[in-house]
A = this chain, B = another copy of it.
Amino acid sequence: MAREKGLKGMESRERLLAAAAEEFANRGFHETKVSTIVKRAGLTQPAFYLYFPSKEAVFDELVNAFRTRLHALIGSSRFEAQVEAQDVPKRVRMAVETFFRFLEATPHLTRIGLFLAPKAEEIKKELIALIAFNLSAEQQAGYFRSDLSMKTVAECLVGIVERLTLSQLLPGIKSPESLASQVVDLLLYGMLSMKHTSA
């Protein structure tokens, strides 16, 4: 009764998931046909329904996979205790870099969970709240200007990440490192040239 059970099935299921992820990411939900997914996975239509109750169900599963990984990432990359002021830029840069790397690692899931899903707005709202919380702590500690709303800053940061992910990261034009350093440089120090700033 307990053989190497379900191995083949799991493999088929995984193939379907991978094919679905790619199709959804490239064509969106409606343009993606179940018939195409199964073709890519080397199966036929009814096999699909052996593993998923509906087309929506696969999509949701992919969205949830993204959400779960995202939460895992955030959970593991909490800001640690007291930091020296000089270290703040580096720490922020590293955090942003880690995030870009995460997005780059699973491009299909990123496209689905961050841009295609109806839930995407909700997911980003969670993300923003978390970032705002972390930034507020740094602000309390005196590292950031006290007249800025960290909620707004978090929104801006996420907006920037979204934009750059779509136009630079996913197309492979720029690396997580270079994007992170440019973004953080801009956000921490601002655009104005020093002579005007330090006046």
Give chain A's interface residues, CB within 8 Å of chain B. Answer: 29-30, 85, 88-89, 121, 124-125, 128, 142-146, 148-149, 152-153, 155-156, 158-164, 166-168, 182-183, 185-198
Contact = CB atoms under 8 A, between A and B. Distances in A.
A179 to B, nearest CB: 9
A30 B183 CA distance: 35
Contact of A145 (B152, B167, B192): B192
Given A191-B144, A192-B145, A196-B85, A161 B159 contact: yes
Instruction: Report how many copies the assembly holds.
Output: 2
A164 to B, nearest CB: 6
A148 B182 CA distance: 8
A38 B188 CA distance: 51
Nearest to A164: B155
A186 B143 contact: no
A188 B188 CA distance: 10
Given A30-B30, A159-B160, A160-B156, A142 B188 contact: no
A24 to B, nearest CB: 14
Nearest to A118: B28
Contact of A196 (B125, B143, B148, B195): B143
B142 A182 contact: no
Nearest to A135: B191
A163 B156 contact: yes
